[in-house]
Amino acid sequence: NRQWILRQRPHGLIQDGDLELVETLVPELKDGEVLVRTIYLSIDPTNRTWMNDSEGYLPPVGLGDVMRGLTLGVVEQSRGERFREGDLVMPLSGAWADYAVVPEAGLRPVHRAPGLPLTANLSVLGMTGMTAYFGVTDVLKAKPGETLVISAAAGAVGSIAGQVAKQRGCRVIGIAGGAEKCRWLTEDLGFDGAVDYKNEDVGDALDRLAPDGIDLNFENVGGDIMIAVWNRLKVHGRMAVCGLISAYNATRMPPSPNFARIITHRLDVKGFLVLDYAHRAKEMVAEMGPWLADGKIHWKVHVDDGLEGAVGSLNRLFTGDHDGKLMVRVSEE
Ligand code: NDP
């Protein structure tokens, strides 16, 4: 059983030696425990924040501990009563490892969506879809005709969020790195505009694409990109702070916007965590399911093979060198 152990806290992008892949024996199961073989490991920006020794929504991963991660796996052995060999499951607290021994109460069942690959359960119908869906519908309460700007728009969450907002009748502008990602947003996903932040000035492009200002911001990046959007939010504009990826690896904190605008423009700024919506998954599936079946929502996954490459995979999120929801295939389905 291979496990990734956190050896030292990374400074910037993760370097060799920050984590170590070690071989261990799978312990004997006790009553009520289940052995889960990892099939997919979800690679998420928040994984990097768990490596920092800072206050977060979960405690940091301890030095010498197995790296925490969201996984989807299959039951190989069970000494529990609810789960049987062959059941697909998601541990509530998963790990970067081939196998995990989990108390039965710490498992959620996974139901394959008819007609969709299993990767959908870790992406568009999983945490990614939940974040996008509730961020747009519940946090922002997006309404028809409103102009919404999304950063990291060609990423897993951003691309779904933009499409949910289109379904809600918004005008959607995405900010992404590179011409190809921007082309995908406007030509394939139906966004009304895209800003290539690597090759053009974000503020100038927003002035051109949203000359009357911005009603809604679905924020995934922070720093200068967020400031450019913030400075164009209209009176009573609303902002959902979903993520600040530009800060997760940063060795110096990126700049912040001027909070005076919250007063002068009576802005509504809300942070949210998808965890708080876990009990509302059915609402998302009820609305997104038919959109997916009708081909109204496009989604991509980027699968890297092999647990041994997990660290390199995580680093991809910070360079943008991936195309869709990033995950590692640890073993065959
Ligand atoms: P993505 O698939 O969007 O991958 C991250 C993307 O961020 C990259 O592809 C890259 O896109 C962009 N990016 C990375 N660094 C920078 C930078 N310095 N400046 C500008 N863009 C950058 O990941 P996810 O969809 O999984 O996550 C997106 C955001 O959502 C993250 O901030 C994450 O923390 C947040 N999140 C929040 C949740 C919550 O509960 N609040 C739950 C899940 C995710 P490009 O190529 O365009 O540069």
Among 127, 151, 183, 175, which residue's Cα sits nearest to residue 301? 127
pLDDT tens, 178-198?
A: 999 999 999 999 999 999 999
Count of all residues that appear for the chain in the document: 333
Same-domain pairing of 95 and 181: no
Q: Tell me, yes or no, whether 113 and 132 share the same domain.
A: no
Confidence at residue 141, expressed as pLDDT on a 0 to 100 scale: 98
pLDDT computed for residue 326 by the predictor: 98
Residues 245 and 154 in one domain: yes
Residues 272 and 309 in one domain: no
pLDDT band at 72 (very low <50, low <70, confident <90, very high): very high
Residues with CB under 6 A from ligand 1: 44-46, 127-128, 131, 152, 154-158, 176-177, 181, 220-221, 225, 242-243, 245-246, 272-274, 317-318, 320
Provide the domain count of the chain: 2
Range in 89-93, 140-144, 153-157 with the lowest mean pLDDT: 89-93
Nearest CA to ligand 1 atom 12: 152
Q: What is the CATH number for 109?
A: 3.90.180.10
Question: Is 284 within the bounds of a domain?
Answer: no
Which residue range is the domain that position 92 belongs to? 2-117+300-329
> 159 C-alpha to center of ligand 1: Å?
10
Q: Does any domain span residue 194?
A: yes
Q: Report the nearest-CA residue for atom 8 of ligand 1.
A: 320
Residues 226 and 308 grouped into a single domain = no
58 CA from centroid of ligand 1 (Å): 19
pLDDT of residue 119: 98
290 domain-assigned: no
**Residue 208 maps to a domain:** yes
Q: Report the pLDDT value the prediction gives residue 116, as an integer from 0 to 100.
A: 94
| Closest-lying ligand 1 atom to the alpha carbon of residue 275 | 40
Collect all residues with Cβ–Cβ distance below 8 Å to 54 and sequence separation of at least 6.
60
Tell me which of 139, 157, 314 to substitute to probe ligand 1's pocket, judged by most ligand atoms within 8 Å of the beta carbon: 157
**CATH number, domain at 208?**
3.40.50.720
8 A C-beta contact, residue 214 and residue 149: yes
* DSSP result, 171-211: EEEEEESSHHHHHIIIIIS--SEEEETTTS-HHHHHHHH-T
pLDDT at 235: 98
| Inside any domain, residue 239 | yes
pLDDT band at 9 (very low <50, low <70, confident <90, very high): very high
C-alpha to C-alpha distance for 227 and 256, rounded to whole angstroms: 7
Cβ-count burial 248-262 (b if 16+ within 10 Å, e if not)? bbeeeeeeebeeebb
Other CB atoms within a 10 A radius of the CB of residue 324 amount to 20
Per-residue pLDDT band at 149 (split at 50, 70, 90)? very high
Residues 80 and 158 in one domain: no
CA of 314 to the centre of ligand 1 (A): 11
Q: 239 pLDDT band (50/70/90 cuts)?
A: very high
Average pLDDT, the chain: 97
Same structural domain for residues 324 and 238?
A: no
Q: Which of 220, 241, 316 to mutate for ligand 1's pocket (most ligand atoms within 8 Å of CB)?
A: 220
Of the chain, the percentage scoring pLDDT greater than 70 comes to 100
Selection from 45, 37, 11 nearest residue 94 by Cα = 37
Is residue 307 packed enough to be buried (19+ CB in 10 Å), middle (13-18) or exposed (0-12)?
Answer: buried
Shortest-distance Cα residue to atom 48 of ligand 1: 177
Over range 202-218, report the average pLDDT.
98
Confirm whether 294 is domain-assigned. no
Q: Per-residue confidence at 286, pLDDT binned at 50, 70, 90? A: very high
Is 142 inside a domain boundary? yes
Tokens of 103: 């108390």
Domain shared by 60 and 154, yes or no = no
Q: How far is CA 248 from CA 64, 121, 221, 320, in A?
A: 21, 26, 10, 14
The whole-number pLDDT of residue 280 equals: 97
Q: What is the mean pLDDT of residues 100-121?
A: 95
Q: What is the mean pLDDT of residues 264-283?
A: 97
Residue 285 lies in a domain: no
The ligand 1 atom at the shortest distance from the C-alpha of residue 273 is: 40
pTM of this structure: 0.97
pLDDT of residue 1: 97
Give the pLDDT of residue 133: 98
Give nearest CA residue, ligand 1 atom 14.
318
Domain co-membership, 134 together with 266: yes
* Atom 7 in ligand 1: residue holding the nearest Cα: 152
194 in the same domain as 56: no
Residues 42 and 159 in one domain: no
ipTM score for this prediction: 0.99
Mutational pocket test of ligand 1: of 136, 245, 276, 319, the residue with most ligand atoms within 8 Å of the beta carbon:
245
97 lies in the same domain as 143: no
* Cβ atoms within 10 Å, residue 276: 11
Q: Which of 236, 261, 276 is the endpoint of a domain? A: 276
The reported pLDDT for the residue numbered 130 is 98
237 confidence band (pLDDT: 50, 70, 90): very high
